[in-house]
Chains A and B, each alone.
Chain A
Amino acid sequence: MTHVSLKDLTKVYPGSKVPSLDRLSLEIPTGELTALLGPSGCGKTTTMKMIAGLLTPTSGDVTFDDRSILREKPEHRGVVMVFQNYLLFPYMSVADNIGFGLKMRKVDKAEIDRRVGEILDLVKLPDLGKRRPSELSGGQQQRVALARALIVQPKVLLLDEPLSNLDAHLRFEMRDLIRSLQQEMGITTIFVTHDQEEAVVLADKVALILEGRLCQYDQADVFYKRPANEAVARFFGGQNFIAGQSTGAAFDSPLGQLTLPQGAIAGKGTLTFRPENVKIGEGQSNSLNATLEDRIYLGTQTRLRLRVGDTMIEAIANPDEVGGFDVGGPVPIHLPPQTLWVLQ
């Protein structure tokens, strides 16, 4: 059970003038599951490697329970990292792979066998101990990699894109397994992903990193409801951004005057609302007359492209709800005030 702190963590690779990670500060509470979210090359894996001791930071500090660990060797940090491509040792059996960490700690052979058996049951691979990694499916390999990490009871578990190499159905299965094992064992866990849905579903808190900088660190729903800036909103699928002036209670924009929720900021800003929060039909407030420019059927939902005056609005609606509207025709919509958010 370890509280992890990253303090102004910075990494500039030799030969590069731009930091790959720029003064990242995060507090990761004991036993929580935290996602480092961001596109490729944003510094997520660099952060993980610095926590694991596989890379040395250019500046900043990493502390476990208020004790700096930067001088400690990787093998003494109690941090285990599970890599994206599993990296099971191909010349060892599954059982030997899982028992590797205990063997390095010179644990008695009988004890290793006992604990390997237990953890194989835990990851639901009870009969595969004697197989070679090449004889396993991708999902099974991922479970073995997870078991190999968990068996040493790490203080901190790092997962690098744990689901990205798996098929859709395996992703759900693995996601549930990671979540249940993490909660059961209470290990402080940090995982890296570029998939916002994966981060939202799996993590207690999400740290969004863009271009080496922390943009927002919050619980998942906050990224949808109150994004810190336009970049964050866009990363989470936001598509509607309308410039205007806020009085705190209302927002003057090309769409007209829109009622804002309580506590909205005043001054010049950008109004944002999510496509799924655009409601079809008249509402109690913020009703607008739109023209349907285009629609794309996506199976469980329909994506609409609407025009109000000269402003384009993206909306997502239930297919049954919009089936009667023709492209080029009018569509009444409204924007519930509690779904509006003003970015400064």
Chain B
Amino acid sequence: MSDRLKIFLLLAPALTAIIVLFMGGLGIGLARSLNYMPVIGLVDPNFDAYWTVFTSQEFYLSFLLTFHISFTSTVLSSVLAIGAALLLRRQFIGRAIINFLFQLNLTVPHLVGAIGILYLFSQSGSFARLAAEWGMISRPGDFPALVFDPYAIGIILQYVWKEVPFIGVILLANMQALGEDYESVARSLGANRWQAFRHVLLPLIFPGLLSASVMVFAFTFGAYEIPAILGPNYPAALPVLAYRKYTDVDLEARPEAMAMAIIIALLSALMIFFYVRISRRNIRS
């Protein structure tokens, strides 16, 4: 048996699952978004669902909110993860414990984290009550709205809390593999600490940072549960809006939901493409 055939056969189970589940689902979604749904009598494909989505103001508001959530969460998580990795690669007493605590979040499901944020940061949550008890605010209701708020602070807080260790662990492994010699070379050639970081370490860890942050961006752009629990009702994040349409009692709203899902996937891919291009140009130039 040739190597080519062997590789193909070994990959076949995984490829079958990907093709059947992912491409199949995408195909069905695409067909339904084009108003092709024979079960309920829609048999003439058209772009009506897309037209409805693109002419709806709510869609654009939802898109802006979702983009804001993803972009802010990704940038904040990346910056904090770089800082954390830079600290954790140093030798200090208690490093192992701090490292363990830093990675602990990875094991906590998003949903559990979101409920924690809700209990801690909502206007009836623990921090609001403590602030009122200590006289910092007159009543818990005066606590700043960090959950269900129009700026999605609670959602971003949850994503940053969860994604900093995710990106941080990747960067830390990257930095440990690189060692400090490249920065030492840069320092001896006349670079100060910041220049050594900006012109040497950052470009070196950039591939890892880019992969991790693209994953975070894609996940936060398409995730449903956190915006559903912590987000505002209007405008809702795009996945929440799509799910609402999908579960609408009127089955004819389903093509609209599917159009929205397809648009989310396309926008996500498009934004990742530009994000990769722009960051590559700026970091490594």
* A residues at B contact (CB < 8 Å): 14, 49, 52-54, 73-75, 77, 79-81, 83, 85, 87, 89-91, 100-101, 103-105, 148-149, 152, 158
Q: Are A73 and B185 in contact (CB under 8 A)?
A: no
Are B203 and A104 interface neighbours, CB within 8 A? no
B183-217 contacts to A, CB under 8 A, are 184-192, 195, 199-200, 203-204, 206
Q: Is the CB of A91 within 8 A of B203?
A: yes
Q: Is the CB of B188 within 8 A of A79?
A: yes
Q: Is the CB of B188 within 8 A of A89?
A: no
Chain B interface, number of residues (Cβ within 8 angstroms):
19
A148 to B186, CA, bound (A): 10
Q: Check if B184 sits within 8 Å of A100, measured CB to CB.
A: no
Let me know if A104 and B195 touch, CB within 8 A: yes
- Residues from chain A with Cβ under 8 Å of B189 in the complex: 75, 80, 100-101, 104, 148-149, 152
Interface contacts (Cβ under 8 Å), in number, total 63
Most buried by A among B91, B187, B191, B200: B187
Rank and list the top 5 A-B pairs by shortest CB-CB distance, nearest first.
A101-B189, A74-B187, A104-B190, A104-B191, A81-B188
Using Cβ atoms and an 8 Å threshold, which residues of chain A touch B181? Answer: 83, 85, 87
Report whether B192 and A83 are in contact in the complex, using a CB–CB cutoff of 8 Å.
Answer: no
Q: Give the shortest distance, in Å, between A94 (CB) and chain B (any CB).
A: 15
**Pairs A–B under 8 Å by Cβ, sample size 30:** A49-B184, A52-B188, A54-B187, A54-B188, A73-B187, A75-B190, A75-B191, A75-B192, A77-B188, A79-B188, A80-B188, A80-B189, A81-B188, A83-B181, A83-B184, A87-B181, A89-B182, A90-B204, A91-B203, A91-B206, A100-B189, A100-B191, A100-B199, A101-B189, A103-B199, A104-B186, A104-B199, A105-B190, A148-B189, A149-B189
Query: Which residue numbers of B lie inside 8 Å of A, CB to CB?
Result: 91, 181-182, 184-192, 195, 199-200, 203-204, 206, 284
- What residues on B are CB-neighbors of A152 within 8 Å? 189-190
Residues of A within 8 A of B186 (CB): 100, 104
Contacts A14-B91, A81-B184 given; does A73 touch B203 at CB 8 Å: no
Q: CA of A91 to CA of B207 in the docked complex: distance in angstroms?
A: 11
Residues of chain B with a CB closer than 8 A to A100's CB: 186, 189, 191, 199
A83 to B189, CA, bound (A): 12
Residues of B within 8 A of A81 (CB): 184-185, 188
B211 → chain A closest CB, angstroms: 16
* Residue contact A73 to B192, C-beta cutoff 8 Å: yes
Whether the Cβ atoms of A83 and B185 lie closer than 8 Å is yes
Query: Is B184 in contact with A54, judged by CB distance below 8 angstroms?
Result: yes
Tell me if B188 and A74 are in contact (CB < 8 A): yes
Contacting residues, chain A, for B188 (C-beta < 8 A): 52-54, 74-75, 77, 79-81, 158
Known: A83-B181, A87-B181, A104-B195. A75 touches B204 (CB 8 A): no
A89-B200 in contact (CB<8A): yes
A91 to B191, Cβ gap below 8 A? no
Q: Closest Cβ of chain B: how far from A188's Cβ, in Å?
A: 15
Residues of A within 8 A of B187 (CB): 53-54, 73-75
Q: Give the CA-CA distance A9 to B199 in the complex, in Å.
A: 32
> Do A87 and B190 touch across chains, with their CB atoms under 8 A apart?
no
Nearest chain A residue, comparing its CB with the CB of B180: A54
Known: A75-B189, A104-B195. 4 other contacts (CB 8 A): A80-B188, A80-B189, A83-B185, A100-B186
